[in-house]
Each structure stands twice: as C-alpha cells, then as structure tokens.
Amino acid sequence: MTTPSSQAETKVRMLHTQIRDLAYQRGPGSKLPTVRELCQMFQTSRVSLYEALDDLEAQNILYREQSRGIFVSQKIYRKSICIVLDTSLLLRTSASPFWGMLWGHFAAVTQQRSQIKDEYYTMHLISRVPGNDTQLPEEIERLIQTECIHGVLAVGFPAAFNEHIMSRGVPCVTFAEGGNWMVGLNMIEVLRLGVKCLTEQGCQQIGLWNTTFWQGDSNVAVPSYDGLFASFLQTYRQTFHPDLIQSIYKLSAAQSSLPFQTFQEQGYQLALQVFTNPALPKPDGIVSTDDMMTDGLLAAFQTLGIRVGEDVKIATHANKSSMMLFKHMRGMTVIEFDPEDIVHAMFSMLDQLLVGQTPSQRVIEIAPSLLSRS
C-alpha cells in the first residue's frame, strides 16, 4: 500500500530529476525559471519544489541568490564520489589499527584529487543491518535514486551490497569483501617472501601461524594457505611439516579451550601452548600472517625468555607506518602493505569505470614490500 509520505517522496524525486535535467540543458551559469514558473511548469507545490531545490543546491547542481533568482552551478559537471566503510571494522573486539589508517588515507587522497580533478567526495561510516546486506543509508539511497552519485568506493561490505549499487547503474569498487571490481592484498606473496627469507636465515623447521575469525560458538574461519605454503617450502628446498601449521582454533579444538577473540590473545596463547608443551613440535622460523597476532606472540616470547632472531626467527605481515610492531622490528623480517596503495588502486579502477572503460583485470592485488631490520 502506498502511503501519503511515500507518494510525496516519489513526487520530490521526480521533480528533482526534472529540474536537474533542465539545468543540464541550460548549462553552467544559466538562469532558471522563477519559483512560480517552475511550479507551473511541473505542476507542483512550493513545498515540494523547495525540497527538491534544497537537494540540488547541496549537490552543486544549482544555486540561489536572493532577489536575483535560481542559477545553474558552474560545478554541475563535477562527479560525486561516495566512500563508505563498515563501522564494525573499527569497533570489533579484534579491530586492527589498519582500518583507521586506511580511512585517513582516503581523506588525504580525496583532498589531493579535489585540487586537480572536477570531483566532489563524501565519506560515510555505515553500520550494516544484520540479515540485510543490500540496505543503504537513507541519504545514500536518495542520492542514488536521484542519480547524484557517480561512483562508490566500498570497504568491508558483502558482494550483495556492491551488486545492489551497481544494479542501479553506479560503478562500485570494493576492498575487504566481494564484488565485481575489487582491490585485495597479495597474501600469497607474504607467504613466499616469508619462506624465502627464513630459508636464507638458515631455518629448517618453518611454521605457518594463522589467525582465527570467531563468529559465534560454531562459526569460525581460518585462512587456508596450507597448499601454497607447502609449495613454497618445496620451491626453496625445505621439508613441509604439517604439524608446524598452527592456529589457535586448531589447538583449542584439540584441547576444548575457549576461543580467544583478539588476534593478540591468539598469538600470545598460541606461543605459550606451542613452546611449553613438550608434545608439540617447535619451529625455528615462523611466518605470521597478521601483525596483531605477531604482537601477541612477541609478548609470550618475552615471558618465556625466547629471543627473536636467535632462538626463533620471524617473518611477519605488517602495515606501513603502523606502530603495532615498531618497537620489536629488530631481528625480524617485516613484509608490509601500504594502505595508501589500496586507496590509489581503488580510485584508479573507479576512474576507468567512470569513463566507460572496462579494467583489464577484475581484481587488483596489492603487492607487499620487504622491510628487514637487523
């Protein structure tokens, strides 16, 4: 059943589109008909007209001058780019400082681009609605309906969310979830570099330590790198020891322990269990897939008196400019990603989509760089 309020919203959206089309026909700097003339032209009330004009002015389509009239904005051809990030990435128990750094790089890059490109940017932190992956905030939904968003950069949203946006004719590039056009991290290269560097340092018992994502008592996710890890060990003439691939889920499942939510806790408990249990094999080199987990295992090593770089060597994932491991880099092999590279790659792909081009690859994988401190 259509309610009076929904009818009014539909009427304002139609009016918005009609006036916007008129503005494009007239061109930048042109004077539009008066309020009275527009009401007559589109058979509408002043209330509905003013609501549509307010939206159009906020979107740089037109502007109003008292006693002079309504004019088409010189910024009418500016493209509007919307950047959205799932707030749970910042608020979850195991939240990484990486997400705040990434958001800051978005702000910095948009400021740089606004000086050389005819673009307008809005940034939105969005709380996802449980069970509804396609629901958009009312403000963004209205902008899409009125065709005032030209492109979206989405961080942390599922494929259904991004497909919903693209089904409305708006290009969308994603990171940290699925979608038609994506930017991701090349974690395979982290494994390769880790095995290579630890081999060069003389390690013969190289282990792989993974994080565990807990999503309820019976819902867990552990990255599956076993096959790739084994192939890299073979490439560098190392022996593959399945028992040296560890995660807190693997150990806690065997010992009926409670799950550890934060990645630091996982690293700490994993190190304690592996290096204090005589029955478990001990690695002389560890490839860690997450810097937060590495932070936890370093704390455990300090407690146990294990010397990094001497008793055990570590090759770890990290994020450029992060302070997570800054005090402990001595003696470690650090394989880092630059959040700014992610932002530039997302914009690069969106730039192609905005001009009607098809990117040469559906997924751009950001390569890590090697930082070694002795």
Residue 25: CATH number of its domain = 1.10.10.10
Query: Of 72, 89, 112, which marks where a domain is finished?
Result: 72
Helix (H) or strand (E) holding 352: helix 339-354
Residue 180: predicted pLDDT: 92
Q: Mean of the pLDDT values across residues 89-101?
A: 87
Weakest mean pLDDT among 136-140, 207-211, 302-306 = 136-140
Cα 109 to chain centroid distance, Å, stands at 15
Q: Mean of the pLDDT values across residues 352-357?
A: 91
Residues 50 and 157 in one domain: no
Q: Is residue 357 part of a domain?
A: no
End-to-end CA distance of the chain: 70
Residue 291: predicted pLDDT: 96
Residues 193 and 327 in one domain: yes
| Angstrom distance (rounded) from CA 208 to CA 227 | 11
Asked if the model's pLDDT at residue 187 lies above 90, the reply is: yes
Residues 281 and 166 in one domain: no
The count of domains in the chain is 3
Q: What is the dihedral of CA 323, 291, 344, 184, to 10 degrees?
A: -170
Q: Is residue 304 part of a domain?
A: yes
Q: How do residues 318-331 score in pLDDT, each as one tens digit?
A: 999 998 898 778 88
Q: Is residue 148 part of a domain?
A: yes
Residues 313 and 214 in one domain: yes
Asked if the model's pLDDT at residue 256 lies above 50, the reply is: no
- The first and second tokens of residue 51, run together, are 């609501």
Residue 32: count of CB within 10 angstroms of its CB:
19
Q: How do residues 61-71 score in pLDDT, each as one tens digit?
A: 899 999 899 99
Model confidence at 137, pLDDT cuts 50, 70, 90, reads confident
Residues 213 and 243 in one domain: yes
Q: Mean of the pLDDT values across residues 35-40?
A: 95
Q: Mean of the pLDDT values across residues 218-244?
A: 86
Residues 149 and 123 in one domain: yes
Weakest mean pLDDT among 14-23, 183-192, 217-226, 364-373 = 217-226
Residues 312 and 237 in one domain: yes
Q: Is residue 348 part of a domain?
A: no
Query: Of 119, 148, 180, which marks where a domain is finished?
Result: 180
Q: Is residue 366 part of a domain?
A: no
Residue 264: CATH number of its domain = 3.40.50.2300
Residue 262: predicted pLDDT: 86
Residues 237 and 287 in one domain: yes
Give percent of the chain with pLDDT exceeding 90: 63
**Domain housing 286:** 187-337
**Residue 193 one-letter amino acid:** L
Residues 94 and 17 in one domain: no
The torsion angles phi and psi of 108, rounded to 5 degrees, stand at -70, -45
Chain mean pLDDT for the chain: 88
Asked if the model's pLDDT at residue 214 lies above 80, the reply is: no
Query: Of 130, 154, 180, which marks where a domain is finished?
Result: 180
Residues 286 and 219 in one domain: yes
Residues 325 and 192 in one domain: yes
Q: Is residue 343 part of a domain?
A: no
Residue 370: predicted pLDDT: 94
For 338, residues 6+ apart whose C-beta sits below 8 A from its C-beta are 319, 320, 321, 366, 369
Residues 327 and 262 in one domain: yes
Q: How do residues 263-301 score in pLDDT, each as one tens digit?
A: 999 999 999 999 999 999 999 999 999 999 999 999 999
Cα 214 to chain centroid distance, Å, stands at 19
- The first and second tokens of residue 204, run together, are 């013969």
Q: Is residue 368 part of a domain?
A: no
Residue 156: predicted pLDDT: 92
- The first and second tokens of residue 244, run together, are 């040296």
Q: Is residue 363 part of a domain?
A: no
